[in-house]
Structure 1
């Protein structure tokens, strides 16, 4: 309907603009170039070129098409675009993009950087939060601190003026002078044009503002991937966020065969965060009554509260509740009895297994959290002040809380011992960077985020009450709020600022003293084989290799035709460095996924990849290379396949072939550390010394600092309340009473290799 309306308007306006100037650049191009040069010279006179005149925008990786500054007046306002794109404008206004440079918490944080180091360092942040300020040269001493375009943040003409990006991130885009129309020759017209001119030449408008690039995840990588460079921290390069890389390696991208699960179709940043919606008002960009959402729904629950965007707030909450996670109270480990009885094994999966519980027994609930609906980690981006955690409660039949973990304290802080999906960023003083002072980072003390498609075990120990209490309920809930209380109080400049908390997913199971019989599975529960598989993946990541193997063996018993489970067992053996034991499982996987069968490419390539690692370890280099070549042929953007193929060629002294593979890796990830290291060696051996020096310098800057772990160890030693979280296999002990002799109960991880019924 709207498209038809646009055509009618265009036809009508075309008859009204006969007397208007022709839509040709002519001398306009020369005039625009002269005006830009004059503006550039004016700004350059007082601009702080801290890193040299050839790098005006560092520490951001952003640049402009000519390397010159762009007059901010060239960026038309969002209101201007809203004349025809009313619904897009409404959605954008409530989005995080629109508010990127006006929300109080961001402004306070960037002011902290400016006060600590100087405004020129804020170019690192503003390249993505306020691109107009960056490319206009406003981020220098003496420049106005209040700018009208700040209120638009990442506005329409920012995204739609980007000409190219690379996947380094930290604002790695090239910005051109905004134009909403091109002339007869396809050259941009950079002056402000009237609505009438646009409506009379909709095809030229589309050519000016749309590129195929904008529909790709690579476009988003320009800002949704970032590093902390030496030019910011005076220390070394450190990866900050890697959403693009995480997506590119996930099952959603279908560019790698290595994920544990296979998706039916490709999902990109745009298909998840810009889903097409039915048109509510009017918008000339709509197609068939639908519009690609410009809300960019994600996880920012705070902006809607600050500005009263009720629609955005409701939509963000729905987005977070929409099958992002699966939570599974998977099993019960039987610990020691308070009366001195012996330790027993694991009963699992709960709901499908009959088991017995005694009063006074120490139980440990194994909760498996599966990141099934996100193409990147949770929580994404900077995790030091974002807050998502597991709330676990044990309640009696009346609803009284007997034990709990992951509660909010009266002062708004999260229970320190909660299992949270976060990390701890430690500074040069060995202290926590509690206000997102990323420019002082030295090391990550630990990282409990869940990668896409992976699972995590969270274990809770408690005492089973007497039978007179009645049945108890165990509830595990994944919760989310935008920031931890300390940061949001700072950011909003208000004590105990209250922010929304979203229950993303929850599960409850009932247990009673004595016999517990199987119950019907709920509609949201995974099938039994997948529950075991997720448990096995979580055990693998927790380095519990024997138990992981047993879990995968249960999967194989339930689904003997599931080829990937045999590869899973082989992965355990490879990580255990038992390569000979891995080989039979890989051959089994390949036999179940023949080369000529449809839809077998991911499963077969995955098994071939790991078989190649086994073959190479056994000295069978030709066989390993042949397998890796097949993987790379099926998945040409698999960085892992190209990296391992490059190393295999290197071991055979085939330096030209190795070089080509590592250079391919860098087309996928320009910051791949192994590529930097090996290309430095390969270039030297091929006589390309200048190239070798460049790669060696990158490697020296980007490799881990071996001394930085000291900061983490000292911090964890001083904060025992969270040190438990740095251990991959740990238990949250909830108010466990002492033994009669005064000693604490000992919780032991299940180590048995035998299985009978639902226990092992």
Structure 2
């Protein structure tokens, strides 16, 4: 008791760092969504006091200091050059849009605005801190799921002597934490830290008018794509569901064996946050981290399958007994890429600069006769390759290729593969006239964190190309009709290559159908899924998925037959009920549709599409108040849902509530894609035929020899260190940041009480 009383007295006498009084700094954090409770500044040394955490959590610290979070700010050359260019073009004020997630120490010490920009340095101590421990663990509120750093942070409460320089007092502080860790745990590990909604605050991006002087657009978005997938366990419509639902931390904060303070059963969460950034450890020379990230990526993130040859209307599967080919024959080859160990689209994140592609190589008589998806001598990717990335067009109609978020206007295409889905890549390959014995085809999926040109932009033209990680491979040997059909390998025995997709035939057909369906080949998908039903008559997947294609084609009677077959195999499956409700709605059987959707929502109460479907059924039945409530449930899950806003506009107009109708009309206009935007890409399509072809949902790769890859014009202007700032944010005038109108044109409206958001994590009042 005497000891505790003495500690209490000493704590009272201790003088912690004073709160920063803002005199010359910038406390307007907008256009970042991040903020402090009183909009005041924070103590940068305290916010980045990582060594304080290291004393008790050395293993977590050791992992974090090698992570992409540690190098999120101007200690990351790829990020730094992008922001330097952005600041020079549109001013440093706008770069605050990035800072809540990338540069919290710079932002919250008031060094991002006009008042401090003249003395700011990208090499300052604050600018080199990245995302520190307290950058996450001092967050006290997640405002919403809108992203862009949508959180509130504070200077966290500490035990006595947390800031003491005296070693004895520091030891007492550590002892107090170990004696009674509850306050420490409550302060730094809140319930929302374990949720995907917490991760969404930074791993979801909105491009706002204050940034681009154009239009609201959704950018990088790990959260919604995970939410709408089978991985989340919240959506009924997925093609595949994992045995157990997973959230962000299940993959990106895996268990790490550790005896540090706070471990659970000898394990802590791995604060390396393994993901896909192979560039940062490479440029640091951190081979151990580079290897660990590569192993993470190679662990069945995707698979590739040399699935079949198309001969007319026949699909000849490349299985245990591959078909014969003849010299000079033109092969239409179907390659299927399937996402597996990923809970969001592949690729995601910086999808406009991630370089992810599919390759195909053909070898006969010891010589390569077909090559697609290869790098040239300068390290540039074959422009005719099948790319799994997002091709972005800027405001001038050119390719946005230096990560300039303020210039993003429209996507020419987005070839990311959703989680638990597939993409079919179509190749046309001619067997050499002199082929004998056999020809071998090899397909691969490859990943490089940044393109060759963006690497030059960030590091200089003389910098080495970033490493390429091969995520998946598949090989098949096709016998050539005629003599010498056996191919001798090694010791003279004939051996088939190891295949990249060992799945059962029905699963391979199912993936093929998914890929065709997502490309819009509805008849091809229906035929593939009919084959699934024949190969696996005890599985409902073939019938259910065929119904998806039949519904999309408007063949509702056929879809009803397929759904009845799926129901017979697996009674009361919510997936069947959902699509049966779609058919019933389209046939005008509203009571049947409502009954099925009610069953679906009993098991999937957070499926926004199911709520939208119920809202539409109720709207069609003239039950406007109930429809408004259903659409309100959607907006409680996703406040940006276009379908819900549009239909609530109609519902409230039907009810005579013009003000509420105006609220949702304004939201619909805000979140809706600019329909004129795609016209801007017309000239680019003519100038870049490879990008134009890649934007087509169904296209064929038939170039046996890769065409040359040309460098963009700006590469020639780069210096030895890549892009070098001209301090344009100081020397040029930049327009003021636009503020978004809060109220719709119809005038002020009371806040809707039809729904309450379900993902708010607010500090108790």
Provide TM-score, normalisation by structure 2. 0.84
Aligned counterparts, 1:355-754, within 5 A = 355-398=323-366, 400-466=367-433, 468-495=435-462, 497-514=464-481, 522=499, 524-595=501-572, 604-686=573-655, 689-735=658-704
How many angstroms apart in 2 are the aligned matches of 1:629 and 1:468? 61
User: Offset of 1:686 from its aligned partner?
Assistant: 5.0
User: Offset of 1:521 from its aligned partner?
Assistant: 7.6
SS of equivalent to 1:382: coil
Structure 1 gap segments, 5+ residues each:
1-13, 50-55, 184-190, 335-343, 596-603, 738-760
SS of equivalent to 1:369: strand
Structure 2 gap segments, 5+ residues each:
162-168, 487-494, 707-765
2:108 corresponds to = 135
User: Offset of 1:74 from its aligned partner?
Assistant: 3.6
1:238 corresponds to = 217
User: Offset of 1:345 from its aligned partner?
Assistant: 4.6
Aligned counterparts, 1:103-502, within 5 A = 103-143=76-116, 144-145=120-121, 146-165=123-142, 166-181=144-159, 194-279=173-258, 283-334=260-311, 344-353=312-321, 355-398=323-366, 400-466=367-433, 468-495=435-462, 497-502=464-469
Partners of 2:531 and 2:542 within 8 A in 1: no
User: Offset of 1:463 from its aligned partner?
Assistant: 1.2
Q: Deviations over 1:31-87 (max 9, x none)?
A: 98xx54x624x25xx53x8xxxxxx32222222233433332441411221111111
SS of equivalent to 2:52: helix
How many angstroms apart in 1 are the aligned matches of 2:363 and 2:90? 51
How many angstroms apart in 2 are the aligned matches of 1:642 and 1:181? 47
Change in Cα spacing, 1:26 to 1:622, as seen in structure 2 (3 Å) is farther
SS of equivalent to 1:659: helix
1:70 corresponds to = 42
How many angstroms apart in 2 are the aligned matches of 1:549 and 1:583? 14
Partners of 1:331 and 1:346 within 8 A in 2: no
Partners of 1:98 and 1:151 within 8 A in 2: no
Q: Deviations over 1:672-714 (max 9, x none)?
A: 1122222334345556555444332222122111111111232
Q: Deviations over 1:547-577 (max 9, x none)?
A: 2111111111111121122110110011112
SS of equivalent to 2:219: strand
1:61 corresponds to = 33
How many angstroms apart in 2 are the aligned matches of 1:410 and 1:313? 24
How many angstroms apart in 2 are the aligned matches of 1:80 and 1:481? 36
How many angstroms apart in 2 are the aligned matches of 1:360 and 1:588? 44
Which is further off, 513-522 or 363-372?
A: 513-522
Counterpart check, 1:39 vs 2:26: no
Partners of 1:240 and 1:381 within 8 A in 2: no
Partners of 1:78 and 1:152 within 8 A in 2: no
How many angstroms apart in 1 are the aligned matches of 2:13 and 2:652? 48
1:754 corresponds to = none
Q: Deviations over 1:361-412 (max 9, x none)?
A: 11122110001111101110231111010111001243x3221000101121
Counterpart check, 1:79 vs 2:51: yes
Partners of 1:389 and 1:406 within 8 A in 2: yes
How many angstroms apart in 1 are the aligned matches of 2:159 and 2:654? 51
How many angstroms apart in 2 are the aligned matches of 1:696 and 1:85? 51
How many angstroms apart in 1 are the aligned matches of 2:390 and 2:192? 33
Change in Cα spacing, 1:522 to 1:720, as seen in structure 2 (3 Å) is closer
Counterpart check, 1:95 vs 2:67: yes
User: Offset of 1:612 from its aligned partner?
Assistant: 1.1
How many angstroms apart in 2 are the aligned matches of 1:362 and 1:20? 84
Partners of 1:639 and 1:668 within 8 A in 2: yes
Change in Cα spacing, 1:580 to 1:104, as seen in structure 2 (3 Å) is same
Which is further off, 223-232 or 126-135?
A: 126-135
Partners of 1:182 and 1:207 within 8 A in 2: no
User: Offset of 1:653 from its aligned partner?
Assistant: 2.6
Q: Deviations over 1:702-738 (max 9, x none)?
A: 211111111123211221122211111111002399x
Change in Cα spacing, 1:25 to 1:609, as seen in structure 2 (3 Å) is farther
What is the count of residue pairs matched by the alignment?
682
Change in Cα spacing, 1:148 to 1:682, as seen in structure 2 (3 Å) is farther
Partners of 1:461 and 1:736 within 8 A in 2: no
How many angstroms apart in 2 are the aligned matches of 1:109 and 1:423? 18
Partners of 1:462 and 1:736 within 8 A in 2: no
How many angstroms apart in 2 are the aligned matches of 1:198 and 1:736? 65
